[in-house]
Amino acid sequence: MSGPLDGTLVLDLSRVLAGPWASQTLADLGARVIKVERPGKGDDTRSWGPPYLGSGENRESAYFLSANRGKESIAIDFKDPRGRDVILKLAARADILIENYKPGGLSACGLDYASVSKVNPAIVYCSISGFGQTGPYAKKPGYDFMIQAMSGLMSVTGTEKPTKVGVAVSDLVTGLYAATGILAALTKARETGQGEWVDVSLLDAQLAALANQGMNYLVTGTSPGLAGNAHPNIVPYQVFESRDDPFVVAVGNDRQFITLCRAIGRDDLASDKRFASNAGRVENRQVLVPALAEVFRQHPATHWLDVFDSHGIPAAPVNTIAGAFSDPHVRERQTVMTSEREGLGSVPGVRSPVRFRNNVPDEVNAPPALGDSTRTVLREISLTGEEIETLLDEAVAAGPG
């Protein structure tokens, strides 16, 4: 694949979501990503279904497909010394290594940063974990749901009870922070020849991603609490009910508020001193929001969305996922793509949101079958045919054919 990271080799020892999301991001940017998986089983998410695409031996979970496009797979048991040596030979050639084992978990295999940096001092080695490489929780396992709860995210999500976000947002944010840190370290490594150990934790990442809600607490000393579909700092910026379907209004400044009031025939609200500024609207939301809600219930959502669109007022329908993917704008942007995989057929996917004008990546490869590149990659590190077959016969490696 071409792209800004063309010529960059990533060795991906991670599994599930945060690590694979980071490596998939790098693959989208043009890097070659070799995913290292357990022989016979592979990444845990290969079995996280239904739903599955395909059937029988060729089936693949939708979960796995979501986080592993553009990669090659090798199946290597690196707990076996021979498998470890294979990984070290690959690491000696790699620019980046990503892993998400518990801190210290790869030391016994001789694949920790200290060991890998001896064979490749310039490597950027990224460790993703639940709680980081230090601290009292460092050895604890960490999963997205746990982190959403521990970080306080759930305490500001929902209406009556704390609620998790509908996707594993802590994993995804961590993967994106990891990719950013990796690229920064890679820039430095290419300038100086000195690699880096990048330590990214789910808890740190999610705390950082609390953004204004985290700062609301730090400034006031009071936890924000549940806000449902309303914004803690902006009014009106929430879901409203129409005669039929709900919709979102996202008024971000005083000018937009005045325009909104005129568009719905409530100039009196715009001229009310209590609502003249956002601070006033936040302070008096218990008066303003019911007044707006009463107006919005008089007509269906399509009526209001047309009104808002004609007046340049930020608003949106509350789509299902099917509705989102069938939106004409999304279709025009070709956000949904397909790729082909032997034995699985046409694989749908979501195109990277990062688009380049002067550096367009090639067609994206489908997420790999388990061990589909084992033989190819082993030949690249100069193993003989006999050595490869021995590793395969003794289950140190696995691959088709």
Q: How confident is the model at residue 58 (pLDDT cuts 50, 70, 90)?
A: confident
CB atoms under 10 Å from CB of 251, counted, come to 25
* Rounded CA separation 60/101 (Å): 23
Considering 171, 199, 204, 372, which one is annotated as catalytic? Answer: 171
Q: Which is nearest to 250 in space by CA: 262, 260, 264?
A: 260
Same fold, 9-209+335-398 and 237-325: no
Q: Return the amino acid letter for 379.
A: R
Q: How confident is the model at residue 217 (pLDDT cuts 50, 70, 90)?
A: very high
What's the whole-number average pLDDT of the chain? 95
* Rounded CA separation 157/226 (Å): 6
Residues 59-80, mean pLDDT to the nearest whole number: 96
171 is catalytic: yes
Strands 52-53 and 60-61: antiparallel
Q: How confident is the model at residue 99 (pLDDT cuts 50, 70, 90)?
A: very high
What class, spelled out in words, does domain 237-325 have in CATH?
A: alpha beta
* Rounded CA separation 176/21 (Å): 7
Domain boundaries, the chain: 9-209+335-398, 237-325
List C-alpha distances in Å: 394 to 206, 355, 391, 401: 42, 44, 5, 15
* Rounded CA separation 237/227 (Å): 11
pLDDT > 70 fraction of the chain, expressed in percent and rounded: 99
Burial of 247 (0-12, 13-18, 19+ CB in 10 A): buried
CB atoms under 10 Å from CB of 20, counted, come to 29
Q: How confident is the model at residue 202 (pLDDT cuts 50, 70, 90)?
A: very high
Return the CA Rg of the chain. 25
- CATH 3.10.20.30 applies to domain 9-209+335-398: no
**Residue 128 has what pLDDT?**
98
Tokens found for residue 271? 């001229």
Give exposure, 158-189, as e/b (b: 16+ Cβ within 10 Å).
eeeeebbeeebbbbbbbbbbbbebbbebbeeb
pLDDT digits (tens, 9 = 90+) for 126-135: 999 999 999 9
CB atoms under 10 Å from CB of 56, counted, come to 7
Q: 174 and 18 in contact (C-beta within 8 Å)? A: yes
